Amino acid sequence: MKKSVILSSALAISIMFSSVASAATYDQYSAKDGDTFWTIADRQGVSLSSLVEINPNIDPNNIYEGLVLNLPNGHKQNWEAQADAMIAKGMTQLGVPYVFGGDQPYQAFDCSGFTQYMFREIGMELPHSSSMQSELGEYVPADQLRKGDLVFLSGTYQAGVSHVALYIGDNKILQAGTMGTREVKISTLFGTPYYDSHYWGARRLIK
């Protein structure tokens, strides 16, 4: 009997440590409104099959906000691929005219309509307003900007945040701009008096 109790205790301890070790092999992700297994896998840089495999108790047809899913430990974040996809999408619109309120590809964009268009490429729906977009994501210091961040200007035609652009790296922004040529274009950010004087800040929506 004593031997049986010892063996049972050892087995229980073994199972406990096995479970802890198994759990430790996974990162975790909290689902957002509108998420599906496919969008989560795509944005997190993992295969759909592996996501399904490591979440055996989750119904793929019942993903709701706040649901916690397992992700492979140390999985590659897909922010750079998302940024590249947005930039590639935006580059197809170079030269499209700036029109206030515009949000039509190949026809007309305003600044927030253009960033809204690019973020749709990665499944994110942004409000059609630069000031409202400035409330999304997290603050990014100017010296930590990376491609895919949103850059905001203030006081360009009204007080407060009044313009938004997509940072694409190397001190460049992709925007539907009004300074100079009124069109979708690439502009230099810092070191340009206009942008230096109106720079408001930046926000990061993809991680």
Q: What is the pLDDT of residues 101-144, one digit of tens each?
A: 999 999 999 999 999 999 999 989 999 999 999 999 999 999 99
Instruction: List, by residue range, all CATH 3.10.350.10 domains of the chain.
Output: 2-72
Topology of 2-72 in CATH? Membrane-bound Lytic Murein Transglycosylase D; Chain A (3.10.350)
Buried b (16+ CB within 10 A) or exposed e, 123-162: ebebebbbbebbeebeebeeeebebbbbbbbbebeeeebb
Q: Which CATH superfamily is 79-204 part of? A: endopeptidase domain like (from Nostoc punctiforme) (3.90.1720.10)
Instruction: List, by residue range, all CATH 3.90.1720.10 domains of the chain.
Output: 79-204
> Which residues are catalytic, by number?
111, 163, 175
Q: How confident is the model at residue 80 (pLDDT cuts 50, 70, 90)?
A: confident
Q: Which two tokens stand for residue 205?
A: 């929506």
Q: Could you report the per-residue pLDDT of 32-76, keeping only the tens digit for each?
A: 888 999 888 877 777 788 899 999 999 999 999 999 999 887 665
- Report the alpha-carbon distance of residue 10 to residue 24 in Å, rounded: 21
Tally of CB atoms within 10 A around 181: 12
Q: What element of type H or E holds 167? A: strand 161-169
- Report the alpha-carbon distance of residue 43 to residue 15 in Å, rounded: 34
Q: Could you report the per-residue pLDDT of 137-196, keeping only the tens digit for each?
A: 999 999 999 999 999 999 999 999 999 999 999 999 999 988 889 999 999 999 999 999
Q: What element of type H or E holds 201? A: strand 199-204
